[in-house]
Amino acid sequence: MRARVLITALSLIGAAVTATVTPAQEAMALPDGLALTPPMGFNNWNATGCAIDETLIRATADIFVSTGLREAGYEYVNIDDCWAEQERDPETGRYVPHRERFPSGIEALADYVHARGLKLGIYTSAGTLTCARTMPGSLDHEEVDAQTFADWGVDYLKYDNCNNEGRPALERYTKMRDALKKTGRPIVYSICEWGQNRPWEWGADVGHLWRTTGDINDSWTSMMSLLEQNAPLAPNAGPGHWNDPDMLEVGNGGMTDREYRSHFSLWATMAAPLLIGTDLRDATPETLEILGNREVIAVDQDPLGVQGRLLRKDNGRWVMVKPLQDGDIALTLFNSSETTATFGATAAELGLPNRTAYTVRDLWEHKTYENAGNFSAAVPAHGTVMYRVDAEDRGWWRHPPATEFALDLPAPFTGVPGTVTPAGRPFTANVTVVNRGRTPVLNGRVKLAPAAGWRVEPLGNTGKPLLRTGESLTAAFRVTPPATAPPDGYALDATLSYASLLHPRLNRTAGEDLAVPTPAPAGTSNLGDLAWAKAANGLGPVERNTSVGSAPTGDGRTLTINGRTYDKGLGTHAEASVLFYLAGKCSGLTVDVGIDDERDPRPDPTQGTAIFEIWADGTKVADSGLRTWQDDALTLSANLTGASFVRIVTNGSPDGFRWDRGDWAAPVLACA
């Protein structure tokens, strides 16, 4: 059966294989008992790129031990590109570890890592050179390289796809599989051909995991795009053969902690490999808490090995379901929209038997509740709630009733979140509680705690003595930041206190991070020099007065649109949105827009297209239409009279996001 699948796949992608599979080859085929759960560990690429050295690998192994990450399941410490010298050893033809960055050699490093109960991974490409082109690839050197890795004590190989000379993927990846097998050492084999040849259709016989997508970068847009591509491939994953939507960005700074929690939750739901991609030497407690969440890790690592599937998705409300070995169900509620949303799934939709109540564990709150069968939650913008639902627990009644608890700040305009709260300007905060338990919620009372000096006035009732199953309490508050509040971030916390029949004192909290924005100065100024209220970008951060460059901060070049250079402006990458606060005092914005010349030099007309828009509050006031990399800059002028906010938007176009580096050049804002 496996052999037939392999041959079908070979002929599908045009590999030069005509003979039938011999018994010897059949013995090479996977599965082989490795990677029965998705691999967990570390890979340096997202944190350091080529700037890797043996100190980082040793430090990571030590931190795995000292922080408990090893006990949480992280096992592989993996080295990515740039670890070897450019030339092979002239006598043996073997790789030579980079003399400055890996002076002790890989074998010594493997010993170090093994001594700590961990495993070592390495990287190369199924091509003549690796992707960074700083070292040779393994194409046509498969046997010597696999043997070298085995001799060194390597336990994991990531095998990339760069510089492959156009040779068929299946042939190249199978050759390395066989070379690894021949060494006799168990080595987890990670196929990294970016999903180009539909590896989910043939990968199970070749490797233990396969990338389904291009590279991740540390942005919301990138994470979302990989999620969209990987989620539908659920049927192709299972023990020993996993879809790999690329490594984690948790902790790298381009997303909020809430977004990183979503990234981690979604990867776990999709039974993705959990490879930490941040430098743990600088990790914050929040980062360690996310990566170390054992209840979420248990969902990823569940031995049943089913990749969670998407039950439904509408208006950015994602409901994903992952069956677990003990009969529980992991339910992931992810909100990709810009405002708090309340949604979930019923026991019937999850295929659960009809029960009086279910025991539900909240995997981020680390609390257990009883639920009458409607597993919903108020999920903040870009946030995720994960439940583990148990239909068989007769002792459900011991737990407090589950509640939906929402703190919602209505968005004043499309694209302007309610969390941006100008000084002195009152706004409304709505707090909602719904009893989702079978037992009653007693003496429910909500409170709002803003920063010191901020005014809070309840606009009605803030409590109810009794909420039966499905009943709700809504409280509205008027919140006013002081007129003198300096531009900064401020916390707003809502608390629910209640009781149940068995629990006299219960509470829940929900919080939002508010931003008091800096108003644009009087006179004319350049957007490249102003503080923004909020920015989102498709690749790395929005850059000031340079092009966007790549993912790192401050790596752009001179803003250049079709040969014309500018010394002021903003470098963005689709999908981008940058919001400025005008306080109603500005009259207009004039700006040159276009695709930056910073792009792949190869002539490919589908690369580098975007649509530029200017929004004044909720109204679109300028639109560039489709601009391509061949176009000169286009001047846009927008009337902003009376607007509180201006928002510049770089939209992708139907050809995807590659090289969509949108420049907002010489953006002159006129204010009174």
Contact footprint for ligand GLA (CB under 6 A): 45, 80-81, 130-132, 160, 192, 215
Q: Does residue 393 carry a catalytic annotation?
A: no
User: Least distance (Å) from ligand GLA to the CB of residue 645?
Assistant: 38
Cα–Cα distance measured from residue 570 to residue 542, given in angstroms and rounded to the nearest whole number: 7
* Other C-beta atoms lying within 10 Å of the C-beta of residue 295: 16
**In Å, what is the CA distance from 231 to each residue of 132, 244, 311, 324?**
29, 11, 11, 17
Structural tokens at position 267: 């990867």
Shortest CB 247 distance to ligand GLA, Å? 7
Q: How far is the CB of 162 from ligand GLA (least distance, A)?
A: 6
How far is CA 31 from each of CA 4, 207, 309, 430, 564, rounded to the nearest angstrom?
A: 15, 8, 23, 53, 56
Distance of CA 67 to the CA centre of its chain: 23
| Nearest to 525, CA basis, from 386, 366, 323, 667 | 667
Beta bridge pairs of residue 367: 362
Question: Strand ranges (DSSP E) for 412-468?
Answer: 427-435, 441-449, 455-458, 463-467
* Helix (H), strand (E) at residue 504: none
- Rounded distance, CA 361 to CA 329, Å? 10
Spatial neighbors of 71 by CB under 8 A, at least 6 apart, are none
What is the distance of C-alpha 388 from the center of its chain?
21
Q: Which of 140, 151, 215, 655 is catalytic?
A: 215
Question: What is the sign, positive or negative, of the torsion defined by CA atoms of 54, 69, 386, 258?
Answer: negative
Nearer to ligand GLA, 130 or 359 (CB): 130
Helix-strand-coil split of the chain, %, nearest 5: 20, 35, 45
Q: How far apart are CA 138 and CA 150, in angstroms?
A: 14
For strands 427-435 and 472-480, give the pairing.
antiparallel
Residue whose C-alpha is closest to residue 624's, from 566, 561, 580: 561
Write down the least CB distance from residue 550 to ligand GLA, Å.
Answer: 12
Q: Is 121 helix (H, G, I), strand (E, B) or coil?
A: strand
Is the CB of 233 or the CB of 622 nearer to ligand GLA?
233
As a whole number of angstroms, the distance between CA 208 and CA 241 comes to: 4
Smallest distance, ligand GLA to C-beta of residue 340, A: 34
Based on the residue annotation, tell me whether 160 is a catalytic residue of this protein: yes
User: Which residue among the candidates 160, 300, 390, 592 is catalytic per the annotation?
Assistant: 160
The residue (of 5 and 50) whose beta carbon lies closer to ligand GLA is 50
For residues 130 and 307, which CB has a smaller minimum distance to ligand GLA in the complex? 130
Between 164 and 340, name the residue whose CB sits nearer to ligand GLA.
164
Q: Which is nearer to ligand GLA, 130 or 301 (CB)?
A: 130
Identify the burial level of 286 via C-beta atoms within 10 angstroms of its C-beta, where 0-12 means exposed, 13-18 middle and 19 or more buried.
Answer: middle
Q: How remote is the C-alpha of 65 from its chain's centroid?
A: 25
Nearer to ligand GLA, 217 or 572 (CB): 217
Q: Give the separation between CA 672 and CA 665, rounded to whole angstroms.
A: 22
Q: Whole-angstrom Cα distance, residue 526 to residue 532?
A: 12
Query: Quick one: 80 or 613, whose CB is closer to ligand GLA?
Result: 80
Taking the complex as a whole, the smallest distance from the CB of residue 80 to ligand GLA amounts, in Å, to 5
Q: Which residue is nearest to ligand GLA (CB)?
A: 131
| Cβ distance to ligand GLA smaller for residue 96 or 132 | 132
List 408's β-bridge partners, or say none: 430
| Least Cβ distance, residue 549 to ligand GLA (angstroms) | 17
* Nearest-approach distance from CB 130 to ligand GLA, in angstroms: 6
Q: How far is the CB of 81 from ligand GLA (least distance, A)?
A: 4
Among 199, 97, 75, 193, CA closest to 145: 97
Instruction: Round the CA-based radius of gyration of the chain to a whole number and report it.
Output: 27
* Size (the chain), residues: 672
DSSP SS3 for 59: helix
Q: What letter does residue 21 receive in the DSSP assignment?
A: P
Q: Which is nearer to ligand GLA, 132 or 668 (CB)?
A: 132
The pairing of strands 188-191 and 156-160 is parallel
Q: How many CB atoms lie within 10 A of CB 189?
A: 25
**187 or 638: CB nearest ligand GLA:** 187
Q: Show which residues are catalytic.
A: 160, 215
